[in-house]
Structure 1
Amino acid sequence: MRPRPLLLASLISSFVLPAFAQEQAVDGELQSIVVTGTYAKNRRTIDTESPVDIIGARELQASGSTELATVLGRVLPSLNFPRPSGADASDAVRPAQLRGLSPDQVLVLVNGKRRHASSVVNVNGTQGRGSAPVDLNAIPLSAIDHIEVLRDGAAAQYGSDAIAGVINIILKKGASGGDAEIGFGEYQERDGKQVSLRGSTGFQFGDDGWVRIAIDAADRDPTNRAGADFRNPAEPRYGQVNQRFGDPETKPRSLFVNSQYRVNDDIDWYAFANYGQRATSAAATWRTALNGTAQRTPLFPQGFLPLQNSKSTDTVLVTGLRGEATGWRWDLSANYGSNDFKLDLDNTVNQDLGANSPTHFYAGKLKNTQALLNLDVAKDFPVEAFSGPLTVALGAEYRHEEYEIGAGDAASYTGSGAQGFSGFRPVNAGSNSRHNQSVYANFEAEVTKQFSASAAVRHERYSDFGNTTSAKASTRYAFNDAVSLRATASSGFRAPSLAQQFYTITTTNFSVVNGVNTPIETGTFAVGSAAAAALGATPLKAEKARNYSLGIQLQPSRNWTASVDAYRIDIDDRIALSANMTLNPALRNTLANQGILVGAGRYFTNAIDTRTTGIDILNTYRWETRDAGRFDFTAAYNHNQTSLQHVNANPAILSANGLTLIDRQTINRITVGSPKDKFSLATDWSLAQWGVRAVVTRYGSFTVPQNNATLDQTYDPQWVLDLSASVRLGKNWRLTAGVDNATDRYPDQVTSAGNLNNNGTTPYSGWAPNGFNGRYYYAKAGFSW
């Protein structure tokens, strides 16, 4: 990593500036007990051998957004959450990245239990292309007590996906207390109106139990930052804004239930369940009235904007027993989770059906399901030579996964299919499953008052690709109460998802050819299919990772803590969706003989080795005054750089036909597509019933690559200021008003070179880390008891 002025300023700030409230506790305390990444009891954030951020209720409520991923993107320097538009299902299920890695290389837990992934595969030109990660926005804020983010590899502790880190969402619990809130918001451009309602309350469950219920609901209107369409003066809507480019219309509804009951003095029963639906209406590309000089369709003589109307349904049930016997803490649980994604097309046509075409189409569905059984045990053994106990944790897990594709109605895929999204065909439909078993062991000990260490090993066996073993070692040494060092080294893995192995569809993609956005029928082939084999595909295998980190923790005083953590993550055999390979006549004929009529093809492949290096700097300082209230000053910085280490040789069949499996754009999307850094400064002030929060965030530069290097565009850093103020009225009421992006800053506009802005109709990049909607005003009224 080359020294940079901002990096040097941040390093200085970690020692001389009052600072950031990430490694802080819930409810305003500067330290807290953590449960993520450890099996020991009473482990504090300051004692952890790996960096753990705690996001409390104040941070979760501190912006106008009601989307979890948006909130995390604003409070976590290492998390990136762009807002793609015009990217099909990725508009409805947007991926988030930790440490610049793939969205599916972070593990998401709820109360320590694995959350199911979305069924949607990001197959268009977005960040996270090729991934099918957990949909963070399906988890309602009203159900969350706090969030623990482990910024370290943890596959040896938790299994697949935990390469970039672990996000553990801790639910509210207990029978006492409750809260309700209604919120309103609107953008400066008088669009994107939002109304939200959420609440949480608890009840006694008999004499020895409790049940807590949380609900979330919101209506969010779309935003539109599209430019006027000046492509063809003969068009009836020439010069008007025809495209819709921005956030989609969304209507999420979610119910979360968390419960516990004491069976006897040694055993507790627990369960939590979630049911949520999110309806989304996203816009595809505007279809002009004329196709050349001919009318495109008599059904829409002015042209038309296809709408992709989806419904994403998440269902979760986790239940188990936990207790203690002969000194062993044990937890036996069952975990079921699924995501069902159904897609309809409206306001569009199938041109091959002419005037007889319907204008509404059912395009099909995707469904991803997981079911787990877990047994975890842990015990603290006294060791005479140690200053603390040796914690031994053992566990076993069985997991079954299933991925299903359901076909749409015939009109959605006949011929070229429905404009905007050609439906899933019967040949695409089917259900595939796998299972795996795993065992693990974890050891933690405080060897002396200054020195602690831990080690973990995990072995897994998958029915589809075989065995894998991961290991991790961590240590921490405290020189004194103010200074300590921590370090970790681990191996890890990510199993290829069923979606990456079996997702298949034929649809219309647009590619810029000689300055013209040209539609091309593109087949996405299952890697084990005959079509993929004809293009050189080989079976997928697990990604392999090696994580290393070294950090320093500082606590100069009771009110001031700081940490600096450097890390390196090497990943071999990264899974990527190949380039959209435009096929020559010979290959088109090969696929046509299989009944597949496409002009381009792609499939998933293990093809790339990368190295990610970075540094996290986190601080917190609290200033208590006698008359002016309390100030929490904050600062945080993340610098992240990914470099290419190796690309596999191109398949011989592709080389013989002048094609490249992994093109320049695919590689550079991984290496330069995420912001290189993020820097934030914040102040929270509270006095009696008043509170004020100000946060300024600098989102670093990023590059949107093309296969033609002259068309690459590097976007300048963007500074964003968020402001909010609140007042408590009496004992129960709280009013909040705020402005996100108070200075109304927009990212750079997309260059017109190569027509990457679609003749000015789509002027902003969907890779922009803070979106491109501008200033947002909001107000919230909350009641708590």
Structure 2
Amino acid sequence: MQKNFLPKKQLLALTIASLFANGAVLAQAAPALDSPGATVVVTGTRVANRTALDTTAAVDIISAEMLKNAGTTEINQALSIALPSLNFPRPALTDGTDTIRPATLRGMAPDQTLVLVNSKRRHSSALVNLNGSIGRGSAAVDLNTIPSAIVKNIEVLRDGAAAQYGSDAIAGVINLRLRTDRSGGEGSVIYGARKTEYDLKNNVVPAGGTWSGPTSRKRTDGQTATVSAWKGLPLGESGYLTLAAEYKDAARTERSGFDMRQQYPNVTGGGFDPREKTINRFNAWYGDPELTQSTLFVNAGNTLAGGVKLYGWTSYQKREARSAGYFRRAQDMRNVTSIYPDGFLPIIAPTVDDFSATGGVTWTLGDWDMDASLGYGKNKMQFEIQNTLNRSIGAASKTAFDAGGFSYDQTVLNLTGVRSVALDGLASPLNVAIGTEARREGYKLFAGEPDSYRYGGEIIAPATPTSAAVPAAPGAQVFPGFRPANATDNSRSAIGVFADLEANVTRQFLASVAVRAERYSDFGSSLAGKLAGRYDFSKQFALRGSLQNGFRAPSPQQQNFTSTSTNFIAGVPFEITTFKPTDKVAVALGAQPLKAEKSVNASLGAVLRFDPVSVTVDAYRIDVKDRIVLSENLTSASVRNYIASQGFVGIGGGRFFINGVSTKNQGVDVVVSWPLNAGTAGKFDFTVAGNLNRTEVTKVPTTSQLAALSPAPVLFDRVNVLTLERGQPKNKLNASMNWKLGQLGGTLRATRYGEALSPGVTPAFDATLGARTVVDLEARYAVTSKLNLAFGADNLFDTYPDTLPPALNTTNNTPFSTFTPFGFSGRFIYGRASYSF
């Protein structure tokens, strides 16, 4: 375990500030902007007209055309097939995470990537991921609340940028730039379905069983219809009003195994119930959720007299989803046979409401270009639990419950000024940007109806003559409702100031420096700095690099989420709780108020241009200290006894968020781009991109209170350690070809996902997920200049991950791991019709 961590953030930031004060600034050169294919970017730099290949750090640009041709309207999915360092696993049986699925950049946590819209901070989702999936403990931005039709392009900065943009920008920044069209528009209809066959060779035959299941299964499901449109309208003489709308209706996919467990109690006199032969044994929903969502997005701007420009955008999305928990068999003690004689599958049905509105103004104040904006965003998630029951109420139980939910809101005020200053000795004017940002964040958790959480007094009869009766578990099966005691309504505020400087020291050497200080009302202050430079040895070759420290503030979701369920242990009721870190019980176990995660980032890269081919290679290292994680479930007898000794009666343990994990993340990104005009054979765009990544956990959290117990419980066990280290593919390779000839066009894309691990509680339960290659193909035809048709297949060859061995799939309901980096839904065949107007 590594003991010597990199220098503290305050030391690094002050050192950078000192270098700036003395004029010892590194710099980045700016090659000619009229090079073929040069695309201006605004992310990672505040200098106007900087192009993607001219920056001090790697910036990827995903165009609206690429999003359109991706075969999906999910932005996260489109990014995952375009960027080798971005992964988008699709977990199942993970409660709310089935509905709001996070993505990761460079193997980091989902909430360690900052998301911007038009360079303004986007609000995160209210959901904090609690289950055993990638991103456990994180509350990330839901990119799928933004319709792809409103997006002009997406810029992805693959470099830390906390000194430039503030909290969360440890792994990088995703900036969605919106359309600003005054005319034109397009409507499209996409329809597709999964047409697939998957392997079931690992079926489990129970002791005494006489039946056997199939070795493979064919499915046609996941039917998805998406209707979207955007339209540009003039606003005054120079303004624009761009509208986009999208409606999506997606059926669930189901990739369960053949459940060979005994479903019913033995009949009188012994032997199997005859229904064992006829019941449907594909009884799980294991796959993508059922979903309907409607989205509206409006972007507007206008120039007034004197060069003053007004801008703003607003969005709203309503999403209704349904996914499942684990199947309860007819003979399960949690079932009430008078309600469900054949068992039941509990359904988790969240409704998500997402709203945002941002308005701003730009103007000139002397030599300064000023920008002021005010933005608000809110995400609310409310749960209904269907097809279920509260076992403790018995036969009188309802079968659907309002389980409560939570919401997160954010208000951001920005003021920025940018100007250029001519200084002797520099090869270009010094670009100076200064500004301030004030932010308020709120988090609210509200309770469900009483029947969703209460204990109704039912006692379960003894299973055998020698066993004892036990109280039934209270609450809605699979998702007990939030209790009034869990309800919370908290807010915090933060204010920050920053300075950002960039200039050519010589014609070949360009440098930038940024310093940012922020103060939060709940945990204190943070200081971040960044030093970046680039040297162009020639028009064909440049080196670039950066050194910086960063931070990620603990989210209100991590600080305030709490839930409680009652477990009966030896007939005695105990409250099992996800505690706030400031709760008295959590403090007794060693919890402390959360503080910011701290990072040190270093990168070194090269840019090579052999017109028209371009190659970028960027190596990076990200060291993070005090990562915030969700502890293990602390429910052992030693924990219960210790809690009781501290005066807390009836508390059976729980879990809480805690700082204390340190990680070292190292890797390299390579991107090769080659546009080719082959004359009568058409125009081609070839791209090959790859990522190698390795994460090492160098420290895990401990508390003196728990360490003194015997046996001492583990706060962060091997499953969670290995999830961070090996839960994502150690390498990923994307290769794509776009082709156009007259009215014809097409895209061929192959993505190779390297080996990953689905970790177990011991090495014997680890499952290695071998490398897989997923191929996508789309063919396009322009019927007229306005009407275009496309047909394609994602996962053309119906590639699936390795199936889990029987020891890890004892119910046969979950044949695939949720750690699979490309999901497990199989081939998706679709058609698209687009009409421009």
Relative to the length of structure 1, the TM-score reads: 0.93
Shift of 1:174: 2.3
Residue pairs, 1:25-174, within 5 angstroms: 30-174=37-181
Distance 1:263 1:641, change over 3 A: same
Q: Tell me, in whole angstroms, the C-alpha distance in 1 between the residues paired with 2:782 and 2:651.
A: 62
The one of 212, 215, 220 equivalent to 2:245 is 215
Question: 2:519 maps to which residue?
Answer: 461
Q: Tell me, in whole angstroms, the C-alpha distance in 1 between the residues paired with 2:714 and 2:241.
A: 56
Name the aligned partner's letter for residue 703 of structure 1. Answer: L
- 2:418 is aligned with 1:378: yes
Question: 1:191 maps to which residue?
Answer: 221
CA deviations on 1:733-768 (whole Å, 9 max, x unpaired) are: 110100111111100011222xx2142111011111
Shift of 1:448: 1.9
Residue pairs, 1:496-575, within 5 angstroms: 496-507=554-565, 522-557=576-611, 559-575=612-628
Question: 1:576 maps to which residue?
Answer: 629
Query: SS at 2:259's partner residue?
Result: coil
CA deviations on 1:688-707 (whole Å, 9 max, x unpaired) are: 11101101110111112122
Name the aligned partner's letter for residue 470 of structure 1. Answer: A
CA deviations on 1:97-134 (whole Å, 9 max, x unpaired) are: 00010000000000000000100010000100000010
The one of 450, 453, 457 equivalent to 2:508 is 450
Query: SS at 1:671's partner residue?
Result: helix
Q: Tell me, in whole angstroms, the C-alpha distance in 2 between the residues paired with 1:586 and 1:537.
A: 14
Q: Tell me, in whole angstroms, the C-alpha distance in 1 between the residues paired with 2:263 and 2:125.
A: 43
CA deviations on 1:600-659 (whole Å, 9 max, x unpaired) are: 411001111110000000010111122111111110000110012222434323541421
Q: Tell me, in whole angstroms, the C-alpha distance in 2 between the residues paired with 1:521 and 1:735.
A: 58
Q: Tell me, in whole angstroms, the C-alpha distance in 2 between the residues paired with 1:87 and 1:508.
A: 20
- 2:377 is aligned with 1:324: no
The one of 271, 291, 295 equivalent to 2:312 is 271
Shift of 1:714: 1.3
Name the aligned partner's letter for residue 690 of structure 1. Answer: L
Question: 1:359 maps to which residue?
Answer: 399
Name the aligned partner's letter for residue 321 of structure 1. Answer: V
The one of 242, 246, 257 equivalent to 2:298 is 257
CA deviations on 1:474-511 (whole Å, 9 max, x unpaired) are: 0000010000000100000000001111100124899x
Comparing 380-389 and 246-255, the one that deviates more: 380-389
- 2:734 is aligned with 1:680: yes
Shift of 1:307: 0.7
Shift of 1:29: 6.4
Query: SS at 1:69's partner residue?
Result: helix
Q: Tell me, in whole angstroms, the C-alpha distance in 2 between the residues paired with 1:78 and 1:419.
A: 38
Name the aligned partner's letter for residue 700 of structure 1. Answer: G
Query: SS at 1:34's partner residue?
Result: coil
Give the conservation status (yes or no) of the 8 Å contact 1:505–1:523: yes
Distance 1:600 1:712, change over 3 A: farther
Identity within the alignment, %: 41
Question: 2:182 maps to which residue?
Answer: 175
Q: Tell me, in whole angstroms, the C-alpha distance in 1 between the residues paired with 2:147 and 2:595.
A: 34
- 2:272 is aligned with 1:247: no
Q: Tell me, in whole angstroms, the C-alpha distance in 1 between the residues paired with 2:489 and 2:382.
A: 16
CA deviations on 1:312-357 (whole Å, 9 max, x unpaired) are: 1111010011122222111010010010001101110000000111
Comparing 78-87 and 231-240, the one that deviates more: 231-240
Name the aligned partner's letter for residue 154 of structure 1. Answer: A
Name the aligned partner's letter for residue 329 of structure 2. Answer: T
Comparing 644-653 and 491-500, the one that deviates more: 644-653
Question: 2:799 maps to which residue?
Answer: 745
Distance 1:761 1:386, change over 3 A: same
Question: 1:428 maps to which residue?
Answer: 486
Task: Tell me the number of residue pairs that the alignment of Structure 1 and Structure 2 aligns.
Answer: 748
Residue pairs, 1:373-772, within 5 angstroms: 373-415=413-455, 416-507=474-565, 522-557=576-611, 559-584=612-637, 587=640, 590=643, 597=650, 599-658=652-711, 659-753=713-807, 756-772=808-824
Q: Tell me, in whole angstroms, the C-alpha distance in 2 between the residues paired with 1:775 and 1:109.
A: 32
Give the conservation status (yes or no) of the 8 Å contact 2:588–2:646: no
Query: SS at 1:128's partner residue?
Result: coil
CA deviations on 1:656-682 (whole Å, 9 max, x unpaired) are: 142111211121111111111100111
Give the conservation status (yes or no) of the 8 Å contact 2:589–2:705: no
Name the aligned partner's letter for residue 390 of structure 1. Answer: L
Name the aligned partner's letter for residue 283 of structure 2. Answer: N
Query: SS at 1:290's partner residue?
Result: coil
CA deviations on 1:548-579 (whole Å, 9 max, x unpaired) are: 0000100011x110000000000000110011
Distance 1:200 1:586, change over 3 A: closer
Comparing 227-236 and 621-630, the one that deviates more: 227-236
Query: SS at 1:707's partner residue?
Result: coil
CA deviations on 1:419-448 (whole Å, 9 max, x unpaired) are: 010010001001011101100000000122
Give the conservation status (yes or no) of the 8 Å contact 2:585–2:648: no
Distance 1:540 1:620, change over 3 A: same
CA deviations on 1:378-437 (whole Å, 9 max, x unpaired) are: 001122322211000000011000100000000001122000100100010010111011
Question: 1:287 maps to which residue?
Answer: 328
Query: SS at 1:627's partner residue?
Result: helix
Q: Tell me, in whole angstroms, the C-alpha distance in 2 between the residues paired with 1:641 and 1:536.
A: 31
Comparing 147-156 and 678-687, the one that deviates more: 678-687
Question: 2:388 maps to which residue?
Answer: 348
Question: 1:20 maps to which residue?
Answer: none
Distance 1:489 1:508, change over 3 A: farther
Q: Tell me, in whole angstroms, the C-alpha distance in 2 between the residues paired with 1:597 and 1:241.
A: 40
Shift of 1:30: 2.5
Name the aligned partner's letter for residue 753 of structure 2. Answer: Y
Q: Tell me, in whole angstroms, the C-alpha distance in 2 between the residues paired with 1:92 and 1:275.
A: 17
Give the conservation status (yes or no) of the 8 Å contact 1:524–1:601: yes
Residue pairs, 1:230-241, within 5 angstroms: 230-232=260-262, 234=264, 236=275, 240-241=281-282
Give the conservation status (yes or no) of the 8 Å contact 1:651–1:661: no
Give the conservation status (yes or no) of the 8 Å contact 2:447–2:486: yes
Give the conservation status (yes or no) of the 8 Å contact 1:421–1:507: no
Larger radius of gyration: 2
Q: Tell me, in whole angstroms, the C-alpha distance in 1 between the residues paired with 2:522 and 2:488.
A: 17
CA deviations on 1:264-320 (whole Å, 9 max, x unpaired) are: 13210111001111111011111111126x964421111111111111111101001
Q: Alpha carbon RMSD of aligned pairs, Å?
A: 2.1
Q: Tell me, in whole angstroms, the C-alpha distance in 1 between the residues paired with 2:159 and 2:567.
A: 37
Shift of 1:599: 4.3
